[in-house]
Amino acid sequence: MKHTVSKRLVPVGGLCLWLLATVAHAALPPSAVATSAPDEGDPRVEASLLVDATQVKPGDTFRVGVRFRLDPGWHIYWKNPGDSGLETEIDWDTPGSTVGPLQWPFPSTFRTPDGFIVTHGYEGEVLLFANATASAQAQGSLQLSAAVNALVCEVHCIPADMMLTRTIPVGPQTLPDAEAMPTFDAARARVPRPMADSGYDVKVELATKPLTAGQPFTGTLTLTSTKGAPLPPLEKDFFVPARIPGVDVVHLKETAPGRFALEGKAEPDVPQAEPRLEGVLRLGTAATGYHALEVDAPLAPVVAAAAVPGAAPAAVAKPPSIKDSLAAVKPAAVVPAAAPAESSLGLGMALVFAFLGGALLNLMPCVFPVLALKAYGFTRMVRQEQGRVGAHAAAYAGGIVGSMLLLAGAVLAVRAGGAGVGWGFQFQEPLFVAAVSAVLVAFALNLFGVFNVGLDGTSLAGKVDQSHGLMHSAGEGVLAVVLATPCSAPLLGTAVGFAFAAGPITVLAVFTALGLGLALPFCVLVLVPGLAKRLPKPGAWMERFKQVLGFALLGTTVWLVWVMGGLAGVDGMARLLAFLVAVGLGTWVYGQSQTQEGGRRWASLGVAVVVLVGAGVATLRFDDAAAATPRATSSTVAQAQPWSDEAVSAALAAGQPVFVDFTADWCLTCKFNERTVLSREEVRAAFTEHQVAFFVADWTRRDARITARLAEHGRAGVPMYLVLDPAAPDAPEVLPELLTVDSVVDAVKRASACSPSNRADGSKVLCAARLPKP
Amino acid sequence: MKQVFTAVALGSLFAGAPAFADAEVGKPAPAFTLKDEAGKEHSLSQYKGKVVVLEWTNPECPFVKRHYEADTMANTLKGFDAKKVVWLAVDSTAHNTPEKSAAWKKDEGFTYPVLQDASGATGKAYGAKTTPHMYVIDEQGVVRYAGAIDDDPRGKNEKKVNHVKTTVDALLGGKPVPASTTTPYGCSVKYKSAS
């Protein structure tokens, strides 16, 4: 039997063309060809039952398949259809022969323009086939029937049910069908091969092990050639995951030849058995030719997430495959609760970030005065106490690390108490702000020479109590830490966010790294002898410099007073200022006492203490309620609204892009960004142009909702900037912690590219291509 | 210095955290306020204290048509205590209009509202991918089921498990939900940018 295989696609359009296409198959029995998916009278799919032999010998194997031809733009689905659609199904009824599993050529990936819905399947023409074996007792002819159920989609979908039948004579020889054979061979070449006989090997290493139910995971997939051959280049959509029970869509992104970043998510009811990464990988390009492989590698064992009250782990509705059943027999590895799985950042990376972040803190406006002070003291020391420089450096570093560890301890204690804390949390406490202000004022007055604490080299030179000097260095280290916390430097947010979500040991390690980073510049001065010699010679300028530094400290105090205004209102500010005046008076009296003798000296000292304590008790009563009115104008952008999830959803629902500024008054980086970027005319114009809804989430005082939202993005502190696209509200863009006008304007532009206002004027903006974030 | 900051800031961006998730089983359901085909507003919050069933729908989709011919949704709802369960259909089809929904509701003769989400914001907040795509939200506003209406994508099984029914019955009966996520099937939701 001979038949003509049309090489043309079924043309679009009318009945005549369709008839023509059918005539092309005149040699196929009419029962073996069917059309379906009628769309306004025009069938969108044609299916033919093909066999690669014209006669089959009993006991021989042959191939049967269904060839689909689709109108341009229409597609059917792969065995994992993806986000929507339906697996193409072929039910064989073949008395006298047995048909094996369906072979699926490597599928295409289809995306909606916004990338929200991703599906896998075939367009144009595809042959889905299977190997069949004729029974040894077969006689006469073999009856072959295929019941095809496919969902045929363009934008809308049409279900197609087709019944295809034909008979193949049984004879003394198996005679290949020269017409059909190439079609089968071409399809065979596109079917992914098992990894074992492909000449390649795949390894999967998850960064987040074990898998936690309901949590995302990341990892690395490494592809190597067992023959050491170079890896071929790849084309877009080179990986298509199979449907993995309990695991949400898995993405692979090539980071280097043969290395892929893996990203996925365990469903809340992921089965306890170790899930496997299953899918197909296609090497090569259209130009070089393709080479498709099956991927099947274990991911990691699963642990249950912290129990959701009442939500018992449930069976995945999909019937388990044989592989699942086998895997289920193995005892699932039991691993103790794995907190680090919450963050995708490894401990090593977090330590590096913490160290770098700590070093950067030295440049922040809140720490710089202290560093300058230290450098000033150091200049003096280098000349006078050559031998003790190392000890001072160690004391300074020790002071920093020690207080960092204290802070870490406080974090752990507060967290154990169940309260949500974040970086800089202590600045949410008015008394703490008052205490730091007092220390700063006292320090400044000391620099002005109002009193001496052995700091002043000129008056105390020669009788410096060495241990006292070391204590002083350590004290400066402590002060540096205290002042550093609100200046959440870039990187620090991530590292500290990691620490806050992690176990006690990790918290301590990260804070130690942070401290060492902060101490670094000073220690470098000490450890590199040449550097120290470059410092200017001491002289009268030092006295003036010291006094200038005093003003810098007073400047920092102004900021703290303003922070207090945010915490406790105008009254709170006034109380703090009154207290600071008392501090000034107290230190002045103390300074007077230093020149006095005996009883008078002690009396003066007493007066100083009484002034301080009395003023403290009288003034330091801060009322949270005084500042209860939310200050939406905390940002200089006039249209700012106070943040709430509901308000954001409402704005997004209205099609507006959303910018959320997570800020706090005590966060200098935030204020810097607001002053230098967010209040700029360009930014304001961009916001107006794109109708951006601007929200301010003010974390000056504790707010559990904001803490939770920060934690969702792996942050423990502010600033954080989110830009939400109404077309993809579930994929907000997190801006860098240091903003620039360009970065904000560009982000807002991207987020509004698909907004109604832009679409209305028909502009062809790229709304699609929102690739998953690395 | 500026370059250093930029580089460092970019680094921190890369290390940034995962994006917002869809409506997740075990987590609070995304809030919404949508008008129905008659212009009446419905907020998720106003139904606190009741079990809420959300049905993503599109009358043009063959899967939805099949279920409405079989009265799957109406029969499922009929089996629940009307005082404890609210059924809301949501249409995120870009070209849908309240008038079309009203005509469809009249033709099919069902009683629940059809929420108008032509912007697709609510659909995307939930991660609704198909029609039908079902969500069950408990009395506290926590998502307890996300997935298909039943285990019969092709409409050919004689016996089928209606996942929404088993979920709601389990919730009202104080029992664990037997299957809290299933793979939804059907047409893709025809979101705005797809037009």
The domain limits of chain A are 15-190, 195-304, 347-627, 632-760
Q: pLDDT: is A157 or A489 the higher one? A: A157
Candidate ranges A14-23, A83-92, A550-559; pick with highest mean pLDDT:
A83-92
Cβ–Cβ below 8 Å for A490 and B187: no
Q: Closest Cα of chain A to B127: distance in Å?
A: 8
The secondary structure element, H or E, covering residue A548 is helix A540-594
Q: Which two tokens stand for residue A590?
A: 């103390």
- Written as one letter, the residue type at B5 is F
Q: Which residues of B touch A737 (CB under 8 A)?
A: 9, 12
- C-alpha A179 chain-centroid distance: 53
Q: What is the CATH number of domain A15-190?
A: 2.60.40.10
C-beta of residue A630 within 8 angstroms of C-beta of residue A642:
yes
Q: Which of A407, A370, A638, A646 is nearest to A511 (CA)?
A: A407
Nearest chain A CA: its distance from B109 CA (Å): 25
> In degrees rounded to 5, what are phi and psi of residue B9?
-65, -40
Nearest-angstrom CA–CA distance, A608 and A610:
6
Chain B positions in Cβ-Cβ contact with residue A359 (cut-off 8 Å): none
The number of beta carbons lying within 10 Å of the beta carbon of residue B110 is 17
Which chain B residue has its CA at the smallest distance from A308's CA? B26
Least confident of A389-403, A683-697, B15-29: B15-29
Chain B: nearest CA to A509, how far in angstroms? Answer: 19
CATH topology match: A15-190 vs A195-304 = yes
Cβ distance of A726 and B9 shorter than 8 Å: no
Residue environment code for A189-220, b if the CB has 16+ CB neighbours within 10 A, otherwise e: ebbbbebeebebebebebbbbbbbbbbbbbbe
Distance CA A68, CA A90 (A): 12
Least confident of A42-51, A328-337, A478-487, A496-505: A328-337
Percentage of chain A beyond pLDDT 90 is 14
Q: Looking up tokens 């205490």, which residue turns up?
A: A435
> By C-alpha distance, which of A649, A684, A682, A657 is closest to A758?
A657
* pLDDT, average across residues A170-182: 91
Judge: A736–B178 Cβ closer than 8 Å, yes or no: no
Task: Report the distance separating Cα A671 and Cα A248, nearest Å.
Answer: 40
Lowest mean pLDDT among A107-111, A413-417, A461-465, A534-538: A461-465
Least confident segment among A146-160, A278-292, A708-722, B120-134 = A708-722
CATH topology of domain A632-760: Glutaredoxin (3.40.30)
Q: Give the pLDDT mean for A207-220.
A: 79
φ, ψ for residue B181, nearest 5 deg: -135, 135
The predicted-structure confidence for B10-58, as pLDDT tens digits, reads as follows 333 322 223 334 678 888 899 999 999 999 999 999 999 999 999 999 9
Beta strands A61-70; A42-51: pairing state: antiparallel
CB atoms within 10 A of CB A669: 25
Is the separation of the CB atoms in A110 and A122 below 8 Å?
Answer: no
Give percent helix, percent strand, percent coil of chain A, each to the nearest 5. Answer: 40, 25, 35
Q: Chain A interface, mutation test: which of B33, B96, B162, B181, most A Cβ atoms within 10 Å? A: B181
List the single residue in A83, A729, A738 with the smallest CB-CB distance to B5.
A738
Cα–Cα distance between A568 and A318 in angstroms, integer?
Answer: 57
pLDDT at B9 over 50: no
Percent of chain A clearing pLDDT 70 (strictly above): 70
Contact A130, A99 (CB under 8 A): yes
The Cα–Cα gap between B149 and B129 comes to: 13
* DSSP β-bridge partners for residue B142: B28
Residue B138 dihedral angles phi and psi, to the nearest 5°: -85, -175
Give the chain A residue nearest B174 (alpha carbons): A310
Q: List chain B residues with CB under 8 Å of A731.
A: 19-20
Whether residue A547 contacts residue A447, with contact meaning beta carbons closer than 8 Å, is answered with yes
Q: Which helix H or strand E contains A432, and what residues bound it?
A: helix A430-448
Half-sphere exposure of A13 toward its Cβ, with a 13 Å CA cutoff?
4
User: What is the CATH class of A195-304?
Assistant: mainly beta
Q: For chain A, first and last CA: distance in Å?
A: 56
Check CB contact under 8 Å for A653 and B163: no
Of B5, B20, B185, the CB nearest to A86: B185
Q: Which pair of tokens denotes residue A398?
A: 């020790």
What does A677-743 look like in DSSP terms, one character per residue? IITSHHHHHHHHHTTPEEEEEE-SS--HHHHHHHHHTT-SSS-EEEEEETTEEEEEEEEPSS--HHH
Sketch out chain B's domains with CATH numbers. 22-194 (3.40.30.10)
What values do phi and psi take at A730, rounded to 5?
Answer: -90, 0
